[in-house]
Amino acid sequence: MKLCLATSALALLAFTLGWWVGRRTTLDLEAGAQIAGVEKEVAELKNQVIRLTEAVRPPLPAGPDPEKTYAIATVGSPTVGARDAAVTIVEFFDFECPFCSSAVPTLEKILETYPGQVALVFKHNPLPLHRQALSAHKAATAAAKEGRFWEMYKLLFGSQDKLDLDSLRRHAKDLALDLDSFARAMDSKEIADAIQADQVLAGRLGIQGVPSFFVNGRFLAGAQPYEVFRERIEEEIRKN
């Protein structure tokens, strides 16, 4: 009798354990399926948000086409190098941009390596995020009125941490500029309009940032190493 009761108890315990394990397995599977379903719904919601965002977000300008040749007017812009140079490099710069500053030695090396063959033309493109850039561009343009643009250019890029108005006046004094004329030019509408005209041109060309270059009208983005410029210059010289 006792053996029968023990056997029955063991059978009941085994059944209970089997039911509990089966139930837990079922619950786990159901929970896993529910989690997977929720994750799928979340992923679909994310995709919908991405699609909606892309639908309302304006497309970014493509930027200048590096395979296209652009005609860029250079009359009236600061220029250094031969007037009849085989290669003209137009630079769109920001005096507060560290990448523009890093490109200056490369450009100097180009002018030294290709005397009489390369001309460099400056275009203003001060970016809004650089708070002192516009004043620096006005200072350089004011110096240009006394034929000292490139000297001011070197001073500005040589001391990018000193572009406040007092420093700009000291630069003008160091270059022996007429300080009264310099101050009036800095505040003039003529200079403001000249800088803005270059910025408008940069926008029309689709320029995304600085420095930006056009080598005989062909776009080259960023502070490229000397070898990249040399290859492009040699290619243009061979055409002439």
Per-residue pLDDT tens over the stretch 101-153: 999 999 999 999 999 999 999 999 999 999 999 999 999 999 999 999 999 99
CATH code for position 218: 3.40.30.10
In a domain, 228, yes or no: yes
In a domain, 62, yes or no: no
For residues 162 and 172, what is the distance between their CA atoms, to the nearest angstrom?
13
Q: Are residues 13 and 109 in the same domain?
A: no
In a domain, 1, yes or no: yes
Total of domains in the chain:
2
Q: Are residues 86 and 204 in the same domain?
A: yes
Q: Are residues 46 and 88 in the same domain?
A: no
- Identify the CA nearest to 206 among candidates 96, 125, 103: 125
**What type of residue is 45?**
L
Question: pLDDT tens digits for 180-194?
Answer: 999 999 999 999 999
In a domain, 71, yes or no: no
Name the percent of the chain lying above pLDDT 90. 72
In a domain, 68, yes or no: no
In a domain, 208, yes or no: yes
Residue 28: band (very low, low, confident or very high) from pLDDT cuts 50, 70, 90: low
pTM: 0.74
Q: Are residues 161 and 233 in the same domain?
A: yes
- Structural domain range at position 112: 79-239
In a domain, 25, yes or no: yes
For residues 112 and 93, what is the distance between their CA atoms, to the nearest angstrom?
20
Quote the mean pLDDT of the chain.
Answer: 85
Answer whether residue 207 shows pLDDT above 80: yes
In a domain, 64, yes or no: no
Mean pLDDT, range 42-49, rounded to an integer:
57
